[in-house]
Structure 1
Amino acid sequence: MNASPHPGPTGQPSLHPDAPGGTIDRLPPPRMAFDAVTWKEIAFLLLNLPVVIVGFVYVVTVLAVGLGLSVTVIGLPLLAFGLIGCRGLGSLERARARTMLGVHVDEPRPLRPGRLGFLPWLWASLKDPVAWRHALYFGCRLPWGILTFTVTLTSLFVLWPVLPFLARGMATVDRAMVRGLLQPSSELEMRIAELESDRGVVVDTAAADLRRIERDLHDGAQARLVALAMGLGLAKEKLLEDPEAAAQMVGEAHGEVKLALQELRDLARGIHPAILTDRGLDAALSSVASRCTVPVAVSVDLRARPAEAIEGIAYFTVSELLQNVSKHSRAQRAWVDLWRADERLMIQVRDDGQGGADTSSGSGLAGLAERLGSVDGLFVVSSPPGGPTVVTAELPWRDRDFRKPAPARR
Structure 2
Amino acid sequence: MTESSRPSAADDALDGVSPPPPRPPFDGTTWREIGYLLANFPAGVAAFVVLVVWLVLGIGLSVTVIGLPLLAAGLTACRWYGRLERARARALLGVRVEEPSRLRPRERGFLPWLWMRVKDPVAWRHALFAFVRLPWAVLTFTVVLASLFVGWPALPWVARWLSNADRAMVRGLLSPSDELERRIAELESDRVTVTDTAAADLRRIERDLHDGAQARLVALAMGLGLAKEKLLEGRADASVAAMVDEAHGEVKLALQELRDLARGIHPAILTDRGLGPALASLAGRCTVPATTAVDLDERPAPAIEGIAYFTVSELLQNVSKHSAARRASVEVWRARDRLLIQVVDDGKGGARLDGGSGMAGLAERLGSVDGLFVLDSPAGGPTRVTAELPWRARTEAGTPHRGPGSRGR
TM-score normalised according to structure 1 size: 0.68
- Would you say how many aligned residue pairs link Structure 1 and Structure 2? 363
1:221 maps to 2:213: yes
Aligned mate of 2:199, from 194, 197, 207: 207
Structure 2: distance between partners of 1:389 and 1:168: 50
Q: Distance in 1 between matches of 2:199 and 2:36?
A: 56
Cα–Cα, structure 1 residues 216 and 85, in superposed 2: closer, same or farther, change >3 Å?
A: closer
Q: Tell me the residue number matched to 2:223.
A: 231
- More off after superposition, 187-196 vs 202-211: 187-196
Percent identity (aligned): 64
Post-superposition Cα deviations, 1:210-267, rounded to whole Å, max 9, x if no partner, equal 2222221111101110111111111212225244533443233222212111110100
Check whether the contact 2:341–2:388 (CA below 8 A) recurs between aligned residues.
Answer: yes
Which residue of structure 1 aligns with residue 254 of structure 2? Answer: 260
State the Cα RMSD in Å.
4.7
Aligned pair partner of 1:381 in 375, 380, 384: 375
Q: Distance in 2 between matches of 1:36 and 1:366?
A: 44
How has the CA–CA distance of structure 1 residues 356 and 48 changed in structure 2, closer, same or farther, with 3 Å as cutoff? closer
For 1:273, the equivalent position in structure 2 comes to: 267
Q: Deviations over 1:90-132 (max 9, x none)?
A: 4676688789x95756584584536886456435423534212
Match runs of 1:2-401 below 5 Å: 54=49, 57-58=52-53, 61=56, 64-65=59-60, 69=63, 74-90=66-82, 102=93, 104=95, 108=99, 111=102, 113=104, 118=110, 121-138=113-130, 172-184=164-176, 195=187, 197-240=189-232, 241-245=234-238, 246-384=240-378, 386-400=380-394
Task: Tell whether the 8 Å contact from 2:59 to 2:71 is kept in structure 1 after alignment.
Answer: no
* CA deviation profile, 1:36-88 (whole Å, cap 9, x unmatched): 8998799689889967974895587267447x53xx76554333212123235
Residues 107-165 of structure 1 deviation map (CA, whole Å, 9 limit, x = unaligned): 845845368864564354235342121123345678x659959x97xx99xxx9xx989
2:4 matched residue in structure 1: none
Give a deviation string over 1:257-294, Cα, whole Å, max 9, x none: 12111110100110111222333322321222232234
Deviations 1:10-36 (A, max 9, x none): xxxxxxxxxxxxxxxxxxxxxxx9x98
Q: RCO (CA 8 Å, sep 6+): is it higher in 1 or 2?
A: 2
TM-score (norm 2): 0.68
| Separation of aligned partners in 1, 2:267 and 2:367 | 23
Distance (Å, rounded) in 2 between the aligned partners of 1:264 and 1:391: 31
User: Bigger shift: 313-322 or 113-122?
Assistant: 113-122
Contact 1:111-1:124 at 8 Å conserved across structures? no
For the Cα contact (< 8 Å) 1:45–1:171, is it kept in 2?
no
